[in-house]
Amino acid sequence: MNEQGWLPRGPLGWVVPPMMIGALYMAFLFAPTEATMGDVQRIFYFHVPSAWAAFLAFAVVFVASIQWLRTKQPRWDAMAVSAAEVGIVFCSIALVTGSIWAKPIWGTWWDWDPRLTTTLILWLIYVSYLMLRTSVENPARRASLSAVVGIVGFIDVPVVFMSIRWWRTIHPVLLSASGFDMAPSMVATLMVCLVAFTLLFVHLLRLRISLELQREEVHRLRDQILYEE
């Protein structure tokens, strides 16, 4: 029982740490220094994959929410809440690293850049998702209510992105977008980091799902034992 929590589960647990080391190597030692931004640009190699993992996570919430509403099987709800939690972790990383990258490049911690702002709204939507869950006690109702919010939230994301992007392009932009040309080695580095983060995401997701399923099992047993009279 004890080792399930501490040791990585299955083959993925053994693959992820070396992949992350590999990604670290690529980002720091393999990739060339960028011309205009200098070495600070290397933050990009972990910032973008974090945002990608967050988006992937919220897509999983969307699909799991729909599946819960359709089948009412508890494993879909377990997947939804797990993906939301892991997604918020990656989303927070993306926001903070984006902010840290912005400071030396733009001179400010925050700029209402469309992508960063959409990520912030995304973060708020899924935090509200988790807050909703803590506020409902009945498990079936909690699952259904959060499924509705999970569906609405995900569909909202492209709408939010487009509206903020138009808001920024029509408004005179004070700080130019942080674009830069990517050499092939940089592209390769980014790809490796994307793969590493995707694997990390899947690994954390599976860990969290197994925790959730165990928790449900324990609650069921507890209700059975304590309230059997």
Partner 1 sequence: MRSYLDKVLAIVGKDVASELRTREVLSSMFVFAVLVIVVFNFAFELNVENNEAVAPGVLWVAIIFAGMLGLNRSFISEKDRGCMEGLLLCPVDRSAIYVGKMLGNLLFMLTMEAIVLPIFAAFFNLSVFDPKLLLVVLLGTIGFAAVGTLFAAVAVHTRTREVMLPILLLPVAVPVLVAAVKATGEAIARTPPSTPGPWLGVLVGFDVIFLTVAYLTFEYVFQE
Partner 2 sequence: MGTFTYIFAAYAVIWLAALLYTYSIAARQKSLEREIEMLKSVMAEKEMPS
Q: Considering CB distances under 5 to 8 angstroms, the limit depending on partner class, which of partner 1, partner 2, none binds residue 29?
A: none
Q: Considering CB distances under 5 to 8 angstroms, the limit depending on partner class, which of partner 2, partner 1, none binds residue 204?
A: partner 2
CB of 89 to partner 2, least distance (A): 5
Residues lying near partner 2 in the complex (CB under 8 A) are found at 1-2, 4-6, 38-40, 42-43, 46-47, 50, 86, 89, 92-93, 96-97, 100-101, 103-104, 200, 204, 207-208, 211, 214-215, 218, 221-222, 225-226
62 exposed, middle or buried (CB, 10 Å; 0-12, 13-18, 19+)?
buried
Residues lying near partner 1 in the complex (CB under 8 A) are found at 69, 121, 124-125, 128, 131-132, 135-137, 140-141, 144-145, 147-149, 151-153, 155-156, 159-160, 162-164, 166-167, 170
Residue 51 vs 164, nearer CB to partner 1: 164
Q: Considering CB distances under 5 to 8 angstroms, the limit depending on partner class, which of partner 1, partner 2, none binds residue 15?
A: none
Name the helix (H) or strand (E) containing 131: helix 114-134
Contacts of 39 (CB under 8 A, 6+ apart): 33
- Nearest Cα to Cα of residue 12 among 201, 199, 213: 199
- C-alpha–C-alpha distance, residues 159 and 147, integer Å: 19
Identify the three-state secondary structure at position 34: strand
Report CA 31 to chain centroid distance, whole Å.
25
Q: Considering CB distances under 5 to 8 angstroms, the limit depending on partner class, which of partner 2, partner 1, none binds residue 191?
A: none
- C-alpha–C-alpha distance, residues 112 and 116, integer Å: 7
Residue 96 vs 152, nearer CB to partner 1: 152
CA 213, 215, 216, 221 torsion-angle sign: positive
